Structure 1
Amino acid sequence: MALRKIIDWLMPNICICCHAPLATHDVICPYCLEDMPLFAHSEGNLLLRPDIQRDFALPNCSGLIACGWYESQLKVWLKGYKFQHKAYYKKALQQVITQQFSGCLSHTAFTPDLTIVIPLHPIRLATRGFNQVSQTWQPCLLNTVTPIPTLVRSHNTQAQSNLSRHKRQHNIKGAFYVEGSMEGLNVALVDDIITSGATMNAAARACLEAGAAQVWAFTTALTPLNR
């Protein structure tokens, strides 16, 4: 405890946005967090919004929860952590995700029995060294069933970032399967960014085929192809 106080005195915690001193071990002050352009908790299931229904093809998902659009701080932090491994961006994302997840979920009737991060193929995981989605969503991951069924990525697909909507769907087709049973379970699938919905929808299909009652998509950010 004494060592912690000395470290805090020598290197005081400051807000990542406004650089104001923080009394807690958060990295975003309450004022900056409130000013971020995040989705309102009261919106709950974002698939009920016509604009999101239009821009994201998620027919195998019953609901969608997201923190915000892929812009501003979310874009900087996601790119900085994913490609530059900046740990303080990870902490900022965890703080935003924790707040948005709990707030938005409270405005839905959905309670996940199982929360699964969209897996990377082992080759891509070995190349990158870590799954940034698992790291940033760790405080919110819920597993209340045993044994836990596993979502498997069966082949190393081409990166989706430079593909059209049709090519994304073709690229990811048959890329996932489930080891074990999801019979009757409410499953939440987690990814960092949803662009067209192709990857999330393919993973959701695999869960439904394994018996899931319903599948919801959870994501840090949304960025439609035409945005």
Structure 2
Amino acid sequence: MNLSLFADEDQPVSPPAPLAPGAGGSALLRGFALPYVAQLLPALDAIVQAAPLRHMATPGGLRMSVAMSNCGQLGWITDARGYRYVRQDPVSSLPWPAMPALLLELAGAAALAAGYAGFVPDACLINSYRPGARMALHQDKDECDLGAPIVSVSLGLPATFLFGGAQRSDKPARIALLHGDVVVWGGPDRLRFHGVAPLAAGEHALLGAQRINLTLRKAG
């Protein structure tokens, strides 16, 4: 990743807002991560140097368009054996890099702002989207603790977040996410289907032609 030490000061921080009508267990926190960016980006650089981004394959053998890595006690992977969390990077056989204290602080503060106190994630999935990359509608249900929320941080190029319902066939709301935005969902919304529309081409001042998404979870 080509990361910068300087945050984008143009995106304002806004009060929490529901992601979609009737989604009382979710919140969109505009610009919430911006105060953390200057210290967070170098920490992410160190993580992906230790555990490089890679395109994983689904159990059906399809190569994912999003490049991924992890930090924290547990890391999410997918391969022919299925979707699961593991304690070691299967590429290096080493433990995943530790989750930076600043990222733990950001996740806890965002969860609290959305109404979820005491959130301490043990897994952070790092997703790198290049133009054209997407994430199909899915549920986050591989975690042992479904009572904890999901905290998702957006950095870099804008993206369209798809926030659906309890069924894959439910029409999703389309939410524009900008650099520094944080999305939180849990409680009655925890198992909603969600995804990301194909990333549009562009060039972000800090991250170039990519979007970085940090998805923090209580997996163990």
TM interval, short-chain normalised: 0.3 to 0.5
- Please identify which structure carries the higher strand content: 2
Quick check: which has more Rg, 1 or 2? 1
Task: State the TM-score, normalized to the length of structure 2.
Answer: 0.33
Task: State the TM-score, normalized to the length of structure 1.
Answer: 0.33
- Please identify which structure carries the higher helix content: 1
